[in-house]
Amino acid sequence: MSAIARRSPRRGLLLTALALAPSALPLAGCGLATAQRSTAAGVQVPDFADLAERVLPSVVNIAVTGDQRLIELPPEFRGTPLERYFRERQRRGRREAQGAGSGFVIDAVGYIVTNNHVVGNARRVVVSLQSGAEFPARVVGSDDLTDLALLKIEPRSDVALPAVTWGASGALRIGQWILAAGSPFGLGGTVTAGIVSARGRQINAGPFDDFIQTDAAINPGNSGGPVFNMAGEVVGISTAIYSPSGASAGVGFATPSDLARPIIESLRREGTVARGWLGVSVQDVATAEAGRAGTPRLRGVQIVGVERNSPAAQAGLRPGDIVTAVNGERIETSRALVRNVAAVPPGQTVRLNVLRDGRERELPVQVGRRPTGGTER
């Protein structure tokens, strides 16, 4: 990754923590997929006017107030006369930091989705609707691994708070039109259009990377804003950009709705996300090595370490085992293994197909709860 990546303090490639929360309208059945405009040459191109008119009232601003991050004391200063000077400067310089971002209403009772990096360290969050109405918001829950957060406001009876409809990101095709909504650089009520440039992008932001790449202009302030398909359904959440300047370079990334929706539902129910965990370190099987000497090519995930007293250890998994399937679903990459196990509620049992000493066997494993900040699978 080159110097063109814009980073946040907590995650790689994230937009600046200026989050806006888009509110949302019921958009089903609006017939937007057929909206087109003729050019002078007679070529039919999409007309986004009807779609923009419907989604813009659903876009809201999220203003955040929190403490400014303090710079970590360099190790070489510790225990020296400079440490006291450094601490005093930090104490005097501590002040409030303000930011803003985007999001969207998923329920008229006041639930709003945004990015975790927008509200993660906030002491005060205020949501502003397109009408200008403002409401204090509380963070219901957040998930750092997918950079998602859920807010709740208490709307007044005289204020309309329409909700978006989730769409299926898995149905997106490369080249399809999409519309991003948010408040780039604090400019509220902004929409940008583009196409799906790629799917399944991994940008080293976390273990669950599966981003939609788009060339729609996404800038600081779009964080947490919705990405709509032409039917007016939310299929993604603007999360990250590649940029040489801090502004859009036509390479933006959105968290797909198929990944986000169950996370948000879990945050709404429990305020947190419980993920399955095995307690192993893994690596992809080197297929080139496996295919030598006339042996069949192997596709799977090799266990290189097993944590003591972990679910994997209790089930009898060993270093050197190769996991080829989870509950009958073929597994070929470490990332796929993480996702499949993480999707299993802690306490439930999964069936792992394991290749050991040339023989395949099936091992039942009762998964545990993934530790907060844990790196093992």
Query: Looking at the annotation, which residues are catalytic?
Result: 117, 147, 223
**Max CA-CA distance within the chain?**
75
- Among all chains, which residue has been given the structure tokens 């945004």? 114
DSSP-assigned states of every residue in 273-291? ---EE--EEEEE--HHHHT
Could you tell me the sign of the dihedral formed by the alpha carbons of 97, 101, 103, 108, in that order?
Answer: positive
Query: What 3-state class would DSSP assign to 106?
Result: strand
- Among all chains, which residue has been given the structure tokens 């040489």? 244
DSSP-assigned states of every residue in 8-69? -SSSTTBPPS--B-------TT--GGG-EEE-TT--EEE--HHHHHHHGGGEEEEEEEEEPP
Q: H or E segment at 341?
A: helix 334-342
Q: Which of 38, 31, 72 is nearest to 53 (CA)?
A: 31
Q: Which of 101, 251, 126, 120 is nearest to 184 (CA)?
A: 101
Q: Which of 325, 322, 317 is nearest to 353 (CA)?
A: 325
Q: Do residues 211 and 255 lie in contact, with contact meaning Cβ atoms separated by under 8 Å?
A: yes
- DSSP summary character for residue 108: T
- Among all chains, which residue has been given the structure tokens 């993934």? 370
Q: Which of 124, 14, 143 is nearest to 67 (CA)?
A: 124
- DSSP summary character for residue 318: -
| C-beta atoms surrounding 175 within 10 Å | 8
Give the whole-angstrom CA distance, residue 231 versus residue 28: 7
- DSSP summary character for residue 310: S
| C-beta atoms surrounding 367 within 10 Å | 23
Q: Which of 62, 228, 252 is nearest to 149 (CA)?
A: 62
Q: Do residues 348 and 276 lie in contact, with contact meaning Cβ atoms separated by under 8 Å?
A: yes
